[in-house]
Amino acid sequence: MSRDRVRVVVTGLGVTTPLGGDVASTWSALLAGQSGVRTLTEDWIDLLPVKFAARAAVEPTDVLPKPESRRLDRAEQFAVIAAREAWRDAGTPKVAPDRLGVVVGSGIGGITTILAAYDVFKEKGWQRLSPFTVPMLMPNGSAGWIGIELGATAGVHATVSACATGAESIGYAMEMIRSGRADVVVAGGTEAAIHPLNLGSFAAMRAMSTRNDEPHRASRPWDKDRDGFVLGEGAGIIVLESEAHALGRGARVYAEAAGVGYSGDAHHIAQPEPTGAGLRSAARRVLEDARLTGKDIRHVNAHATSTPAGDVVEALAIQDIIGDHPIVTATKSMTGHLLGGAGGIESVFTIKALYDRVVPATVNLDNLDDGVEVDIVRGEPRPLPSGQIAAINNSFGFGGHNVAVAFASI
Amino acid sequence: MAVTEQEILAGLGKIINEITGIPAVEVTPEKNFVDDLDIDSLSMVEIAVAAQDEFGVEIPDDQLKHLKTVKDVVNFIQN
């Protein structure tokens, strides 16, 4: 037997999402079943088959000072805003710089910066490119800026695994603390990809909903009439901490970050592996890593993006490995899909559900698809039982990345 | 009509405020960009490009590195 490992806990939460500019407003909107999806009004929308998305509820440039907004890509703006909230929420921990780390990734990085900068280059020449173009477009930029602001010298990292990015970042952060590299790590994911090129490219994959007449009804995980995902934007970031460090400073602890399970599909670059073998592996591994059994898991915040291919396979994997008892929800029905930000915000929602003992309902689930037998919350939010319970956030990404993160009540 | 030193200083203050957030009133002639105003080399490039637009004076890179204080830039633009 190996010696007991370092226990990791969550002490701070921060988000900016299509439902609100912080955790409190987002969480109350989720419990109220609100949708953050809206018709887009930009003139380029005429070029596209998809005419809606889930824009951030609060414009980041309304929150940040103008000089800061100028040098940050929109994805970095979201990340910095969510990280500041999480850090404040954790009580601005006093921690030695070389014991503090950052792991914040993005699925795509500063794509709107890249495209806008290329226009500037073509029209006006290289001399007119902002000297901040490179730090704005690099996908590790958010991690870098947060690391500078907090003075984190233990290590600043950015995982990139498409829509699994946020969850993978949190897993990596847990491992940094367990391995003794850091006492406190700020971790999560961010994305700002609502741009005609991305909407067009995802539409070219036939991955997006085109329910243009009812955008708020478009994201409908597990519903028979789902026709694709809805693009969202924002960031979700949490503060992870060794239990000893958190207790030593008398921090409020939301949950234990109990474990992480990873797997690779090794099947197709963008399609889910049809038997769900990779999803089952990730579920088995997260239970093993967290030293939990399926019975301990009372809630799953599913990846469920509202695409025809993925949702049912995930439900079957949950049922098979964890069981049909957990209360399952898909908050993407309200936030849309934040790609690299998804695992960040959905980990926050999973932790909030455990801490507040309530699970938001999945909206737009009018006709449950065939073969889905897990217990999905519909209609009203559902309470979670008291006592010692655990929950899982699933995040899967193009490339065949499967990540499941487990949190446990304290 | 030539711009006065005061006009250049005011214009520069506005540009620096826009780019860095430093209050324009703090942009006084004796201030060193790095030591006093904590402006990094990337922001200095932005300021130089904006100043070129504002005053119609090109500031070549090999000159820019010699412009250490606000007064250096004001003088460069005036001359």
3-state secondary structure of B33: coil
Class assignment of domain A9-408? alpha beta
In this predicted structure, what is the pLDDT of residue A24? 98
Domain boundaries, chain B: 5-78
Give B62's contacts (C-beta < 8 A, 6+ positions apart): none
Among chain A, residues having any CB pair with chain B shorter than 8 Å are 65-68, 70-71, 127-128, 130-132, 135
Task: Tell which residue, A257, A265, A280, has the closest CA to residue A351.
Answer: A257
B21 touches chain A (CB under 8 A): yes
Question: Do A66 and B20 lie within an 8 Å CB cutoff?
Answer: no
Class assignment of domain B5-78? mainly alpha
pLDDT band at B1 (very low <50, low <70, confident <90, very high): low
ipTM above 0.90, yes or no: no
- Chain A nearest CA to B17, separation (Å): 8
Question: Do B42 and A128 lie within an 8 Å CB cutoff?
Answer: no
Question: Do B21 and A66 lie within an 8 Å CB cutoff?
Answer: yes
Closest partner CB to A130 (pick from B20, B41, B46): B46
Tens-digit pLDDT profile for residues A173-218? 999 999 999 999 999 999 999 999 999 999 999 999 999 999 999 9
Task: Tell which residue, A164, A201, A172, A168, has the closest CA to residue A49.
Answer: A201
B60 touches chain A (CB under 8 A): no
| Contact call for residues A172 and A178 (beta carbons, < 8 A) | no
Q: Please, what is the end-to-end C-alpha distance for chain A in angstroms?
A: 25
- Tell me the sheet residues that pair with A237: A14, A188
| Contact call for residues A203 and A119 (beta carbons, < 8 A) | no
Tens-digit pLDDT profile for residues A271-322? 999 999 999 999 999 999 999 999 999 999 999 999 998 999 999 999 999 9
| Contact call for residues A14 and A236 (beta carbons, < 8 A) | yes
- Chain B nearest CA to A67, separation (Å): 5
Residue ranges of chain A with per-residue pLDDT less than 50: 1-2
Across all residues in chain B, what is the average pLDDT? 93
| Contact call for residues A201 and A292 (beta carbons, < 8 A) | no
- Distance (Å, whole) CA A280 – CA A120: 47
- The residue from A157, A299, A337, A401 that is catalytic is A337
In this predicted structure, what is the pLDDT of residue A216? 98
- Distance (Å, whole) CA A284 – CA A392: 12
Closest partner CB to B20 (pick from A67, A130, A131): A67
Residue in B with minimal Cα distance to A69: B19
Question: Do B46 and A131 lie within an 8 Å CB cutoff?
Answer: yes
Question: Do A67 and B42 lie within an 8 Å CB cutoff?
Answer: no
Tens-digit pLDDT profile for residues B13-50? 999 999 999 999 999 999 999 999 999 999 999 999 99
Residue in A with minimal Cα distance to B53: A128
A68 neighbourhood in chain B, CB within 8 Å: 21
In this predicted structure, what is the pLDDT of residue A1? 40
Domain boundaries, chain A: 9-408
For testing contact with chain B, the best of A68, A69, A70 (most B CBs within 10 A): A70
B46 neighbourhood in chain A, CB within 8 Å: 130-132
| Residue A370, CB-side half-sphere exposure with 13 Å CA sphere | 0
A128 neighbourhood in chain B, CB within 8 Å: 49
- Distance (Å, whole) CA A146 – CA A156: 9
